[in-house]
Each structure stands twice: as structure tokens, then as C-alpha cells.
Amino acid sequence: MKQLSQNQALELAVNTLQNNGALKENALPLALGIIDAENQGIKSHGFHYLPIYCLHLRCKKVKGNASPKLSVISNVAYKVDADNGFAHRAISLGVQKLLPSAKENGISSLAITNSYNCGVLGYHTKNIAKEKLIAIGCTNAPASIAPLGGIKPVVGTNPISVAIYNKGDVKIIIDQSASVVAKSEISVRAKSGEKIPEGWAFGPDGKTTTDASVALKGTMAPAGGYKGFGMGLFVEIMSACLTGSNLGIEASSFANDQGGPPGTGQFFIALNPEKFSNTFEAKIEKIIQSIEKQEKARVPGSKRINNYKTNINNDISIKEELYDKIISLNK
């Protein structure tokens, strides 16, 4: 394993993205997301994904010189056109308006269009919630989940995330896809040749499979059957229909160099609980305690929150093979 300090890891991510065509102002927000994913223990969205980002820069699936544009719809509604660049910079631009608006008005919203894979959705909701807010976010993805009874994908893994601040820190991060697992988890196993558990995905014939490579050619299993598809459909409506972005059935893959920019979307809502209730903090604390007092139970997001608190003070470990591949992308 290659050990890098936090600063070295960030510099490597930024430089690699720049050397493959991204302007620094577009590379830095994404690099910060990569490092955060590593520190949270979500390796599938950390350096593992950097070569794919670089591939998409080189094949113009994502614009390295994108210039996102902010539009003010009202004092509680904002929209950013990501210009087919990285989602991270566009989201950061919109959040600068979203935060003060939510604090003042109690609620505010942000739509992102002509966007791209936003990495760990909970990273963005966590950053919003840090400002003593409730953050809700969703993003659509290329179609990979078929409706109940069908075999052709209609919606993507389409995650939704909710982050809650309470008593000095973000205490809850719900971050879940409409599928049983994130598609990136299957991609990781396909590369390593590892089998996937039964019930994660279906092959092109609609039958369940444990072969990760076959699964990538088929569809993802929705979490909770028809309920998972319904949640994915809701996210599709919010992230694509409402923002004017590409539907999952229109978007190109996040995983290869086929097709043009995916043009997917994100949607965020921020709420100031102080404007709605003077007992919010106490009730959230009561919920947390009711979970934590159970020996084997844990609060959603607590594992990644604790990972971050531990890992932020330590070096980041990267597999030698992956590190060598990243170094080769800088030549």
C-alpha cells in the first residue's frame, strides 16, 4: 500500500485531474470530494474512481473547462447549469446561495442541470447540514433498474440523502440508492473478479446473478422490490424532470467512454429547523439515544462519520497498482 499524507493525497488528485484537462477551479472541488470519500471509508468513490474521471476528461464526456452559471429563480429557489462539467463545482456554486437563503427563510432549494456524477451524495448534504441545517439531496444516474415485472432499465440507482445537524456536529447521514447496493460496488468486484451476493443484480435475461461482469450488462435489483423502484422514480422526477436534465434512459454511462456528456441532474433542499420548531434539537437527540442504547444498532451515517474523525488525522492508503495507474495518468 502507498501511504500519502492528507495534503499529498489532495495534491495528487488535483494534479491528476489538471493533467488530464480540468481547470484547477473544476479539479479542486472534485478532489476534495475524493479525499472525503477516502476518509469516510467509501473507497469505491475515492481514488478508485479517479482514472474514470480522467478517462471522461480525455474523451470529452465531461468538460474540463466548464463554466457553471447560476440563475436566481426567487429568494428561495436557485439553479446552476453545470455546463456538462463536474457536479462538485456547480453544487458548490449553488450552495453559496442556498445556505444564507435557508437560514433566513427557513427553506430554500437548488437545482443542478447539465451535470455529471456527483460522487458521494452524502458528502454534499453533509456540507450543507454543517451550517445547522437539515439537508435533503437527490441525483439521477444512467438507467440501471427495471420496473417490477420488466427487464429493461428505466431509472438509475438514483440515491437520496438526508443529513441532520445536532448539538455541534452532523449526527445523521442517510445516504441510500434505490438499488440494493450502489452500482460502483459491483464495478469494483467486476474488476477484481469477485462474486457478488445473490440478490444484488440481474443478468440481461432478468435472472439473478452472482457474476459481477454479467450484472453490469443487466440491471440492478431495486431495494425493497417495487418500493425501491418507486423511490428511484421519485428521484428521477426531482433530479431530471424538475431540473431539465437528461433522464436516466437518455444519459450516457458513468463507467465508460461511450456517448457524450451524461447531462444528469441534482436537486437539494435545505431547511432551518429553528424556524419551524423549538424542540427539534431535543427530539433529534432523543431519537439518537433510542438507537445508540441498543447494543448492535447504530445511527445511519455514524460509521462514516466516525471513520472521517479517525482518518482525517492519518495518512491515506492507496493500493500500489492503483497508485501506479494514477501516476501513469500524469505522464
* Residue whose cell numbers read 428561495: 76
First and final C-alpha spacing in the chain? 21
User: Given this model, what pLDDT does residue 183 score?
Assistant: 84
- 182 pLDDT more than 90: no
Residue 298's H or E segment, with its range, is: none
| CB atoms near residue 326 (< 10 Å) | 19
Which residue would you say has higher pLDDT here, 117 or 183? 117
* CA 213 to the chain's CA centroid: 23
User: Given this model, what pLDDT does residue 291 score?
Assistant: 98
Confidence label for 325 from pLDDT (cuts 50, 70 and 90)? very high
Residue 266's H or E segment, with its range, is: strand 264-271
Would you list the domain boundaries of the chain?
2-179+222-277+305-328
CATH code for the domain defined by 2-179+222-277+305-328? 3.30.1370.60
Quick: pLDDT tens for 221-277.
Answer: 999 999 999 999 999 999 999 999 999 999 999 989 999 999 999 999 999 999 999
Q: Take residue 173 and report the three cell numbers written for it.
A: 447521514
User: What percent of the chain clears pLDDT 90, i.e. is strictly above it?
Assistant: 96
Residue among 279, 239, 147, 124 nearest 202 (CA): 147
User: Given this model, what pLDDT does residue 139 score?
Assistant: 98
Confidence label for 317 from pLDDT (cuts 50, 70 and 90)? very high
Q: What one-letter code names the amino acid at 157?
A: T
Report the alpha-carbon distance of residue 41 to residue 305 in Å, rounded: 9
Quick: pLDDT tens for 237-253.
Answer: 999 999 999 999 999 99
Q: Take residue 54 and report the three cell numbers written for it.
A: 480522467
3-state secondary structure of 230: helix
User: Given this model, what pLDDT does residue 185 score?
Assistant: 86
User: Given this model, what pLDDT does residue 133 score?
Assistant: 98
**For residues 279-288, b (16+ Cβ closer than 10 Å) or e, as one string?**
ebeeebeeeb
Residues 6+ apart with CB under 8 A from 48: 184, 188, 322
User: Given this model, what pLDDT does residue 10 score?
Assistant: 98
